[in-house]
Amino acid sequence: MDIVDLSTLPEQDTRYDEFLRQVCDKYEMDHAAYAGMNPAAGTIHGHVTYGDDWKAHYQEQGLHLIDPTLHMSQRSIAPVDWSRLERGKDFQRVFRDAHDFGIPDQGITIPVRGPYGDIGLLSAVRECSRDEWKKLVPNVISDLQSLAVHIHDNVMTSDTISRMLYHPTLSSRELEILQWAAAGKSQQDIGDILSISHRTVEVHLRSSREKLNALTTPQAVGRAIGIGLIYPG
Amino acid sequence: MDIVDLSTLPEQDTRYDEFLRQVCDKYEMDHAAYAGMNPAAGTIHGHVTYGDDWKAHYQEQGLHLIDPTLHMSQRSIAPVDWSRLERGKDFQRVFRDAHDFGIPDQGITIPVRGPYGDIGLLSAVRECSRDEWKKLVPNVISDLQSLAVHIHDNVMTSDTISRMLYHPTLSSRELEILQWAAAGKSQQDIGDILSISHRTVEVHLRSSREKLNALTTPQAVGRAIGIGLIYPG
DNA sequence: GAATCTATTGGGGGTTTCCCGTAATATTGG
DNA sequence: CCAATATTACGGGAAACCCCCAATAGATTC
């Protein structure tokens, strides 16, 4: 999964970066970041107010693969305060590096999910005392929640992103066969059910995997269910 | 997809209903409703401040199958103001019935999604002039957004729901391995990751299949995601 | 009409999964 | 405490799956 820095795209205007800077100003944050991803499409894209040096380092090192703020937020419904993250190996790695670039480990990430498996993460960080932080968060969390929805909604409906996060369109045959696979049928079974060769079934499963960016059929079934394309058998 | 009225469950406390009533009071709404659904698991459950007569009518007529507020919100990231709904056949049907029970067609629904394909919808309605409504919404939308996340997070992590979605108990090892399978890893990969033999991995997958009553691993992954034991990789 | 996409079937061959065993340790219940 | 059950672990062999290739027919698009 590669990172795409949207600010480097020629056709991309800078309103998102400005938007994030305004968020910082208004809510007394040092930095703000938005990351959008679609596991099914295998994409990550982001806007940040961090310096270019940190952005470069983050991408070069592939820190997005281990970043605990991303991992945790992807599995949460509610906002995640970074103080609640596990202080594991990955945490040490990412935040030690971040510290070198002057980025604090005090922050919050708000996850927003769309209907196609897309996830938007709005993060805000601030270097200050623990007490100060604990007073600040309750006052801004509600607004940040709304802003997170707003920015993710905008990003997902913009042409630039929808081209990148194209949600997979499986053919009716592919969906039909994937649905039978989710129902526990073997390729041979499905072939018998649909009166086609099990070879053909395998072809459709393969194209389904490719479209869903899945390595295996179990993963494809999981993705398809997560997106709502099929139902659990 | 059947509806489950959580308030009728004996072991269910009434804090959600109280919560909704407080939302009404604080934000000057006539009624508030929360609906949680998991298309993957095929369940809908809800709390409402509407009268029992409307609840009964809604369930008897199966209005949830055509309710445009549900349909629209399921596909939206941002809150949906009911004034933006298409005035189609289904709309007429549902809101004509609702009107007979004293429920206005002026409202807003806020969708929240969790990592398992679960969707929470917080709706609030108020009978008032269009102008009044347009002034009210911007003032409360941010708070309602937060509340929607809060209530959905609570419902999804509550024991009540997990008891309703029949829950096989998979061992931590089985869940761990099933999660990796959902992430597209092969048995060999998983064995390497966990430093065990790929044979052992297969045994855990087999017992997972048995517990989930699944014939194949893709089906087991689908079931586990539908139940919320693991998340789509 | 040509190009493109989808659905279909097939061969050959390597890889993975699955079912059959065995067995040590852990946990639970009488 | 001991017995029953569950969990963890490993291996051989058969079955299923997955990937490479090619080929035909129908529908859609340009």
Interface contact flag, B40 A218, Cβ < 8 Å: no
CB atoms within 10 A of CB B217: 23
pLDDT for A159 equals 56
Confidence band of B40 (pLDDT split at 50, 70, 90):
low
Q: What is the pLDDT of residue B120?
A: 93
Q: Is the pLDDT of residue B162 over 80?
A: no
Q: Which window residues (110-139, chain B) lie with Cβ within 7 Å of strand D? A: none
Question: What residues contact A224, with CB distance under 8 A and at least 6 apart?
Answer: A170, A175, A178, A182, A208, A212, A230
Q: What is the pLDDT of residues A41-83, one digit of tens each?
A: 777 888 999 989 999 999 899 898 889 999 899 889 999 999 9
Q: Does residue B160 register a pLDDT over 90?
A: no
Q: How far is B218 from chain A (nearest CA, A)?
A: 4
pLDDT at position B167, please? 65
Q: Encode pLDDT of A175-190 as tens digits.
A: 999 999 999 999 988 9
A88: pLDDT confidence band, cut at 50, 70 and 90? confident
Single-letter amino acid, residue A161: I
Helix residue ranges per DSSP H, chain A? 15-26, 52-60, 68-74, 89-100, 130-157, 159-164, 172-182, 187-194, 198-211, 217-227
> Is there a contact between A216 and A205 (Cβ–Cβ < 8 Å)?
no
The model's confidence at residue A155, banded by pLDDT at 50, 70 and 90, is confident
Res. B165: pLDDT tops 60: no
| 3-state percent breakdown (helix, strand, coil) of chain B, nearest 5 | 55, 15, 30
Helix (H, G, I), strand (E, B) or coil at B83: helix
User: Which pair of tokens denotes residue B16?
Assistant: 């959600």
- Work out the mean pLDDT of chain B and round it to a whole number: 86
Task: Please check the confidence at residue B73 and state whether its pLDDT lies above 50.
Answer: yes
Helix axes A130-157, B130-157, angle to 10 degrees: 110
What is the number of CB-based contacts under 8 A between chain A and chain B? 140
Percentage with pLDDT > 70 across chain B: 88
Contacts of B89 (CB under 8 A, 6+ apart): none
pLDDT of residue B9: 43
Strands B2-5 and B43-48 come out as: parallel
Tell me which chain B residues have a C-beta less than 8 angstroms from the C-beta of A112.
77, 113
Say how far apart CA B198 and CA A231 lie, in whole Å.
29
User: A38: which strand partners?
Assistant: A43
Q: What is the pLDDT of residue A128?
A: 94
- Position B38 confidence tier, pLDDT thresholds 50, 70, 90: confident
pLDDT band at A160, cuts 50/70/90?
low
Please give residues of chain A from 148 to 187 whose alpha-adjacent beta carbon (CB) lies under 7 Å from any atom of strand C: 171-174
pLDDT at B3 > cutoff 90? no
What is the reported pLDDT for B159? Answer: 52
- Predicted pLDDT at A1: 42
What is residue A124's three-state secondary structure?
Answer: strand
Cβ-based contacts of A141 with chain B (< 8 Å): 146
Give per-residue pLDDT as tens, B98-122. 999 999 999 999 999 988 888 999 9
Q: Which residue has the higher pLDDT, A162 or A123?
A: A123
- Chain-chain contact of B142 with A146 (C-beta, under 8 angstroms): yes
Helices (H) and strands (E) in chain B, counts: 10, 6
Q: Is the pLDDT of residue B82 over 90?
A: yes
pLDDT at A5: 47
**Position B2 pLDDT exceeds 50:** no
Residue A162 has what pLDDT? 58
User: For strand C, is any atom closer than 7 Å to the CB of A200?
Assistant: yes
Distance B198 CA to D19 C1' (A): 22
Average pLDDT score, chain A: 86
Which nucleotide is the nearest neighbour of B174, by CA and C1'? D7
Mutate to test the interface with B, among A145, A147, A153 (most CBs of B within 10 A): A145
As a whole number, mean pLDDT of residues A26-52 equals: 88
For the CA atoms of B210, B213, B214, B220, the dihedral, rounded to the nearest 10 degrees, stands at -80
Domains of chain A: 2-164 (3.30.450.80), 172-227 (1.10.10.10)
Q: For residue B117, give the nearest of A39, A186, A226 by CB distance.
A: A226
Distance B203 CA to C23 C1' (A): 14
pLDDT reported for residue A171: 85
Question: What integer is the mean pLDDT of B206-214?
Answer: 90
